[in-house]
């Protein structure tokens, strides 16, 4: 993979004393579920997300004698999973004998059940770009971040972002691009329902779904319908259409995983209870919709005027204004 990556990075740049960058987390409104190439993390379909503004990862990279990783003030040893995954990724971008001290700070509430891998890999690529002063464009940053985690390809931008699946086997046409800025009233509510570590990671969950779920055959068709509708709804601020389509898309994604064997069932009783409460709120006329990723927690989509009523039903909800950078 390295030769492919080297074609994207300008040669002859030496590192400075420090490279620093920030990348936001993101939540997909039209989900990415299923790879066509495991190593290059090439998706089977496109996807569209909203970046979470001030919720994300700040990363500092400092040339050092040995590799070390500090996240939110805590040191992670070399045999830790997070350490191995991050430095395995940085190995793709750096010279073989070059060592780094990584200082990372997540502004995502740790218990919120939001994946920090997307913002971490996007911040890592941007910090490397700053360290070496490569001057990479958004498309290249997105391709490189994708190699760390698929959804990281979308975290190099703010606002609404679309990741194109591409057709090229090298993945050079599989990158994300901004679609539109977030409109000021748009809100994401995070419901932390379970902090238990998930039994099946997203990569394993996707693989199992693609290989064993007959229902997965319908997924590309679902995305072919939902992605243009969500893009349209984003561009003309059609919130009910956006919410409806995003909720249906998330539920359809979960249906494909539940139909895998062994089943990939992230839902807990609290997940189902929250979905019923959302449907009850809608029956009362509150415009609120749910989305879920590879875990039991639920994220709500709504506009600012509905916040007070939704907060009454979900007192522990943490609200994010994705437009606040």
DSSP state of 296: S
- Taking the complex as a whole, the smallest distance from the CB of residue 324 to ligand PMV amounts, in Å, to 21
203 vs 248, which CB is nearer to ligand PMV? 203
Among residue numbers 277 through 296, which ones bind ligand PMV (CB under 6 A)?
A: 293-294
> x-or-dash pattern for ligand PMV, window 19-58, by CB under 6 A?
---------x--xxx-------------x-----------
150 vs 171, which CB is nearer to ligand PMV? 150
Integer angstrom CA distances of residue 118 from 106, 137, 309: 11, 18, 31
- Taking the complex as a whole, the smallest distance from the CB of residue 28 to ligand PMV amounts, in Å, to 3
- Contacts of 117 by beta carbon, 8 Å cutoff, 6+ apart: 148, 149, 151, 152
Q: Assess contact for 301 and 246: CB atoms under 8 A.
A: yes
> How many chain residues are in contact with ligand PMV, going by CB under 6 A?
14
- Residue 248 found at the interface with ligand PMV (CB under 6 A): no
- Taking the complex as a whole, the smallest distance from the CB of residue 285 to ligand PMV amounts, in Å, to 30
Among residue numbers 123 through 182, which ones bind ligand PMV (CB under 6 A)?
A: 149-151
- Taking the complex as a whole, the smallest distance from the CB of residue 319 to ligand PMV amounts, in Å, to 20
Helices (H) and strands (E) in the chain, counts: 9, 13
28 vs 242, which CB is nearer to ligand PMV? 28
Measured CA to CA, the distance from residue 118 to residue 108 in angstroms comes to: 12
- Taking the complex as a whole, the smallest distance from the CB of residue 275 to ligand PMV amounts, in Å, to 16
Among residue numbers 259 through 278, which ones bind ligand PMV (CB under 6 A)?
A: none
- Residue 114 found at the interface with ligand PMV (CB under 6 A): no
- Residue 203 found at the interface with ligand PMV (CB under 6 A): yes
Dihedral sign computed on CA atoms, order 237, 242, 244, 245:
positive
| The only residue of 142, 202, 222, 321 in contact with ligand PMV, by rule CB under 6 A | 202
Residue 198, helix vs strand vs coil: coil
Neighbours of 37 (CB within 10 A): 13
Measured CA to CA, the distance from residue 176 to residue 157 in angstroms comes to: 8
Q: Which residues of 60-78 are buried (b: 16+ CB within 10 A; e: fewer)?
A: bbbbeeebbbebeeeebee
What are 81's strand-pairing partners?
none
Site residues for ligand PMV per CB under 6 A: 28, 31-33, 47, 115, 117, 149-151, 202-203, 293-294
């Amino acid at each position: 993979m390295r030769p492919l990556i080297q074609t994207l990075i300008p040669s002859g740049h030496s590192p400075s004393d420090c490279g620093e960058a920030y990348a936001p987390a993101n939540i997909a409104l039209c989900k990415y579920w299923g790879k066509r190439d495991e190593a290059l993390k090439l998706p089977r379909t496109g996807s569209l997300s909203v970046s979470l503004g001030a919720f994300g990862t700040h990363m500092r990279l400092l040339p050092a004698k040995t590799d070390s990783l500090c996240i939110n003030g805590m040191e992670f040893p070399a045999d830790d999973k997070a350490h191995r995954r991050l430095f395995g990724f940085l190995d793709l971008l750096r010279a073989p004998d070059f060592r780094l001290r990584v200082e990372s700070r997540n502004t995502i509430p740790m218990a919120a059940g939001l994946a920090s891998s997307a913002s971490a890999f996007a911040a890592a690529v941007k910090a490397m770009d700053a360290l070496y002063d490569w001057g990479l464009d958004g498309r290249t940053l997105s391709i490189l971040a994708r190699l760390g985690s698929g959804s990281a390809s979308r975290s190099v931008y703010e606002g609404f972002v679309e990741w194109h699946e591409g057709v090229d086997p090298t993945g050079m046409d599989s990158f994300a691009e901004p679609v539109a800025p977030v409109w000021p009233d748009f809100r994401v509510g995070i419901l932390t329902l379970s902090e238990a570590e998930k039994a099946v990671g997203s990569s394993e969950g996707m693989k199992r779904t693609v290989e064993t779920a007959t229902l997965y055959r319908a997924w590309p068709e679902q995305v072919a319908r939902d992605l243009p509708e969500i893009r349209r709804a984003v561009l003309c601020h059609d919130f009910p259409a956006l919410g409806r389509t995003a909720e249906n898309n998330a539920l359809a994604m979960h249906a494909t995983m539940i139909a895998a064997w062994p089943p990939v069932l992230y839902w807990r009783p609290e997940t189902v209870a929250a979905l019923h409460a959302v449907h009850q709120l809608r029956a009362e006329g509150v415009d609120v919709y749910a989305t879920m990723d590879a875990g039991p927690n639920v994220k709500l989509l709504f506009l600012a005027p509905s916040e007070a009523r939704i907060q009454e039903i979900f007192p522990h909800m943490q609200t994010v204004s994705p437009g606040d950078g």
